[in-house]
Chain A
């Protein structure tokens, strides 16, 4: 077997052959016989009473089959869009969980809230008819600013007149208070973590196809986790049992979190297909995506760090308001709590941490997990306040961190996690060397000679990936388990079909998972097919998010492979007339230990399917095994990023001169794919830090509702990244020793960039600027600082 097809080698992405030729098969590429088209009429008001929806004219329009409103959904007795995680507040009460109707009734609660759907023979006809729907609404005051939402006197939902979904806390408040009381220095930072739109390249799409002869439903959808959609939609919305519902997510063009969630459109097309007895297709356009895909981030935070005289961290206090938007999306409540508060120890041995999170309802698009989900917010909080402390104390940003690193593992944090392993000095040392940290002063002087202000900013992140031990997340409010499943089907001639519950939407699973199986079974990669995305083919699956695919899905594959090998040994022992305990499996051969007797993997496979000479009394024919893997702990990737910028003080424009990244992902299966994941994460993180901002006005209108105003990062905005994966500390509790790499770049890079810009401007007396660091914001900060300095 060619050694280049195994763990640790950069096999080229096999899926790219079809993607680069434009032959990916996406949901919108699919068309079902007799298909109809849905156009969704959405609210243009952020908050209004819905007095009436008159569909009479639209129903008579050319090509229209049916027009549906919230009343139709209500009369059919359908459930609302469910939430998958219940948070218990600090008083032990459950979060407020208002209904999330598929189509609005009574009120609309955000711009984009669906009001009616026209189903017609063509998309154009559906859209034409939608313009004939007469809607009478009375505007209500919009709840937009989280800081005033509690006292505004207007509730997004009647159940929460103060717009508070929950008031949650984590950590020891008394110990934290005591540490602050004894601190030599306290640093305080108030900031906004900006709201983002995920913007996957492929907009969402869903086709519902009801087969009345079989009484069976199929939903084709752009999802990161088809089994989760089947569970949520089948059980909670439409009351369709699993055996009557297939969910298929074919090629998906990017998810970034926003395609995890179960959306109203999926339930609508599935249900409507049964009403009209024809397939119903809905495809989002880009403008619609801005006001209907769940957004990300959006925290308003006050953080405080207590230090002793030597710069040791004594305690951290965080008080955050997190925007839920108008309704609770699938995982929204857990993002600012269990995926954020628990990460506030970072890489540091801070003895006491306390975190309070108030989740707020507002008249905006729902907010949920977006690449990193809570962990970028935690990392930003921590890494920004550490730099502010260093600035106030006149300490080097690297040394202050090094003084506080955790160095003994396993380590129990004060915020409920146990880190199994890590080496934070190693990644810090590596990045300082990669970026020539020591040579910065000379580069700064050179920039100054050209009238530019140069800055350097460090960020040392940690994340919790591989979500998650089911018993743990169950105790924390998850309404599902978070294991993963895989089936290894060994075909008679020795090729292998792998059914995985993970879903690839850009990550390259078809390549990486094939490498894992190739390595384990000693057969060439081209003998291995990876199948994903179809609930009819895959035993089960919890899907792909939170950098969990290799750590959890890959581990399930390894467990299934182990079962295959174990059965193969029994067969081989029979064929080789040896004791099973004497059979070893290596390099694709079942061997009798200490002899030259062997049977190839394919010979054993064939025997399993042609069992003429077979231990039929002991084992069944066939060679197919399924395994479920439930992780024992999270995995903890960590690393250090160093960003170097040049600021043009006359225009406020920031140029990212260099970005160096040293990551510890544990063991690495495909270094090229890992590097690509880091690059993509960095682009998204730097996009958040410098460009992206889903700005709403005070009326709840999304001002940045198109690419004319929502700034996406382009290649020209980014430097050539300097990325290295450290030798690493393998995860101690999964069979591959892997940790996950999908979100690291988006988690570690925003504070690195902001720290760099603030570092460049510190001589102006600037100690913080909120993201995104647009030219306007940076220039304005410089002007304000100049005015302030002049006044002093």
Chain B
């Protein structure tokens, strides 16, 4: 780790001010950033710790929306009765991130802003058609994710809340990478109130999280495992590493989608 200034504001405007400085970097739960700093792979001059800002934390239901503060931990989401009642798939997802220590530190805002291609939350945000609210604007999930570790967030922009439309049914089917236990290929499946089906895929794509339109259309007209069989999932565009070839990941997209359908049937 290199030396840096540490700033822990208690309100959002102070945090935003601090983030305007040269070399300033927001720190959420630190579950990615701290290991990166320890390996000296990043050298921010100032870390702006967002965990002291109470207004970023909390879960509330607002009509047909579930709103989760950007600073809410995975542990809080996993334990929330409101989330379980509204979007059980999010409880499944949050409860399978890392271990208890990670879940008690890591935040939903941090996960979305980092957009690790193997992170879990981006799949849910895409599949549920979430709206990501920042201190400046609201961004649709479909516009938010811009490839590996890239988002449409601008300098000094902080995720304040994530608005999830409440689906009629949802599930997260995670297939873990054997070492990191991140997603090797995982599926967030949501049946929306308008009858549409949305499929978010994380861990598989060479460009990060994506929705699979072929699967969405097939399941939208026939919500059954056999409908998945008829869909072609291409290996092209899938990532390749020690733990999964593109062909293997393409296979997992179908297998895990089928399991998601079965879980909701």
Contact = CB atoms under 8 A, between A and B. Distances in A.
A790 interface: no
A537 B180 CA distance: 44
A710 B181 CA distance: 11
Contact of B180 (A652, A693, A703, A707): A707
A139 interface: no
Nearest to B2: A128
Contacts of A634: none
Nearest to B99: A714
B255 to A, nearest CB: 5
8 contacts: A650-B251, A651-B175, A704-B179, A708-B179, A708-B182, A709-B242, A710-B179, A776-B245
Contact of A780 (B3, B182, B245): B245
B178 A711 contact: yes
Interface string A619-631: 0000000000000
A776 B175 contact: no
A487 interface: no
A263 interface: no
B175 to A, nearest CB: 6
Contact of B178 (A650, A691, A695): A691
Given A708-B179, A779-B251, 8 more contacts: A650-B255, A651-B175, A691-B179, A707-B179, A709-B179, A709-B241, A711-B178, A776-B245
Interface residues of B, number: 20
Interface in A734-792: 774-776, 779-780, 783
Given A651-B252, A776-B243, A287 B39 contact: yes
B244 interface: yes
Nearest to A716: B181
A68 to B, nearest CB: 22
Contacts of A415: none
B257 to A, nearest CB: 12
B180 A708 contact: yes
Contacts of B247: 783
A650 B258 CA distance: 11
A703 B179 contact: no
B26 to A, nearest CB: 23
A776 B244 contact: yes
A316 interface: no
Interface in A689-715: 691, 693, 695, 703-704, 707-712, 714
B242 A703 contact: yes
A667 B242 CA distance: 44
A773 B248 CA distance: 15
A124 B37 CA distance: 13
Contacts of A779: 248, 251
B212 to A, nearest CB: 17
Interface in B54-106: none
A650 B257 CA distance: 12
Contacts of A714: 181
A439 B40 CA distance: 56
Nearest to A707: B179
B259 to A, nearest CB: 9
Nearest to A128: B2
A666 B45 CA distance: 63
A711 B179 contact: yes
B178 A774 contact: yes
A691 B182 CA distance: 15
Interface in A640-694: 650-653, 691, 693
A779 B245 CA distance: 11
Interface in B152-194: 175, 178-182, 184
Contacts of A650: 251, 255
B250 to A, nearest CB: 11
A776 B180 contact: no
A775 B245 CA distance: 11
Interface string A122-135: 00100100000000
B255 A651 contact: yes
Contacts of B179: 691, 704, 707-712
Nearest to A691: B178
Interface string B214-257: 00000000000000000000000000011111011001100100
A258 to B, nearest CB: 19
B39 A780 contact: no
Nearest to A704: B242
Interface in A102-155: 124, 127
A779 B243 CA distance: 11
A776 B248 contact: yes
Contacts of B181: 714
Contacts of B252: 651
A709 B248 contact: no
B178 A775 contact: yes
Contacts of B178: 691, 711, 774-775
Contacts of B243: 709, 774-776
Nearest to B251: A779
Contacts of B244: 776
A709 B245 contact: no
Nearest to B118: A708
A774 B245 CA distance: 12
Q: Nearest 8 A-B pairs (CB), nearest first? A: A711-B179, A711-B178, A708-B180, A650-B255, A709-B179, A776-B248, A776-B244, A691-B178
Best-buried of B3, B40, B179, B252 by chain A (most CB within 10 Å): B179
A704 B178 CA distance: 12
Contacts of A691: 178-179
Contacts of A783: 247
Contacts of B245: 776, 780
Best-buried of B175, B178, B241 by chain A (most CB within 10 Å): B178
A757 B243 CA distance: 19
Nearest to A287: B39
B260 to A, nearest CB: 13
Contacts of A711: 178-179
Contacts of B241: 709
A652 B39 CA distance: 34
A710 B248 CA distance: 19
B145 to A, nearest CB: 21
Nearest to A714: B181
A695 B245 CA distance: 15
Contacts of B251: 650-651, 779
A779 B175 CA distance: 14
A650 B175 CA distance: 12
A780 B39 CA distance: 35
A709 B175 contact: no
Contacts of A652: 248
Contacts of A776: 243-245, 248
A135 to B, nearest CB: 17
Nearest to A649: B255
Best-buried of B181, B244, B248, B252 by chain A (most CB within 10 Å): B248
A490 to B, nearest CB: 48
A263 to B, nearest CB: 23
Given A650-B255, A707-B179, A708-B179, A695 B242 contact: yes
B128 to A, nearest CB: 25
B254 to A, nearest CB: 9
A775 B255 CA distance: 13
A783 B178 CA distance: 20
Contacts of B255: 650-651
A230 to B, nearest CB: 34
A652 B184 CA distance: 13
A649 to B, nearest CB: 10
Contacts of A703: 242
A480 B241 CA distance: 45
Contacts of A775: 175, 178, 184, 243, 248
A780 B244 CA distance: 10
Contacts of B242: 693, 695, 703-704, 709
Interface in A46-101: none
A433 B242 CA distance: 39
Nearest to B249: A776
A534 B10 CA distance: 52
A708 B251 CA distance: 23
